[in-house]
Chains A and B, each alone.
Chain A
């Protein structure tokens, strides 16, 4: 069970990347900038992937 949870959620770095993406998505839609979010969120996700790959 522990292994399954860790595989699905990952480590702190992984969680942090997804938390930042979620925060940005919520903030951009909250201020009414959904049109920017559809471009910004994929770019941020790719940046997060790059950071995780480099670690």
Chain B
């Protein structure tokens, strides 16, 4: 008899992780392109599959998920705060007012190259970390005697999240560049804050666990928009008074 009591929790728990992984891949794909972002995701899934097949998983090698969360969280914060700050500065009119046209174009081309690599690494690491969590869920449920139900639940969740995610891909692709940068910055900083604090303070640090993530995303989105508005106002009033912004 098929074990629905294993399949359903495996499906639901894996769906949460796959949604998080897909959110990262989607956000990165808006900046570096869909093929590169899915390539990074596929590479991460391949690494996960190889690790699982060859060694029985990362934990048997002694790699702690907490350490991974810490490393990924800090690198996301390092990248995210800068990206969000840049998007806010542009939105407020600070960056374009400071740059000369030629220098701006050259810098943007250079950043685009850098952003591509960084974006690829972020998509790769994000999927790897979330995939490790799915693996842990599958193993935790599977060892109770329901391997096929546990694996089926996780794979079904992946396929459904992919199908739903691909449906919203096109409308997002038409959003203007700076709004995309802002949205990516918000998401990266949110995931970075979440994982870093979880690595430092333990998995019980966030009230509601993974459900705190939407709250963090809302906080950074609202806070960032408010910051951009305040900075823009300050720039405008400085221009009116004849001061340098």
Contact = CB atoms under 8 A, between A and B. Distances in A.
Interface of A: 3-4, 6-10, 14-15, 17-18, 21-22, 25-26, 28-29, 34-35, 37-38, 41-42, 45-46, 48-54
Interface of B: 74-75, 77-79, 81-82, 84-86, 88-89, 92, 94, 110-111, 113-115, 117-118, 121, 189, 193, 196-197, 200-202, 205-207, 212, 216, 219-220, 223-224, 227, 231
A34 B207 CA distance: 10
28 contacts: A3-B110, A7-B111, A7-B117, A8-B75, A14-B81, A18-B78, A22-B196, A25-B196, A25-B197, A26-B200, A29-B201, A34-B202, A37-B201, A38-B207, A41-B193, A41-B196, A45-B77, A46-B223, A49-B81, A49-B189, A49-B227, A50-B227, A50-B231, A52-B81, A52-B85, A53-B84, A53-B231, A54-B94
B36 to A, nearest CB: 15
A7 B85 CA distance: 14
A47 to B, nearest CB: 9
B227 A8 contact: no
B77 A8 contact: no
Interface of A is mostly: helix
Contacts of A15: 78
A3 B124 CA distance: 18
Nearest to A32: B201
B81 A48 contact: yes
Contact of B117 (A4, A29, A48): A4
Interface of B is mostly: helix
- What 3 A-B pairs are tightest by C-beta distance, nearest first? A7-B114, A52-B85, A29-B201
A46 B78 contact: no
A45 B77 CA distance: 9
Residue of B86, B92, B193, B201 with most partner-chain A CB within 10 A:
B201
B85 A49 contact: yes
Given A3-B113, A34-B201, A42-B216, A53 B89 contact: yes
Given A25-B196, A38-B207, A53-B89, A45 B78 contact: no
Given A22-B196, A38-B197, A8 B220 contact: no
A34 B205 contact: yes
B231 A18 contact: no
Contacts of B200: 22, 25-26, 29
A41 B207 CA distance: 14
Nearest to A33: B201
A53 B79 contact: no
A5 to B, nearest CB: 10
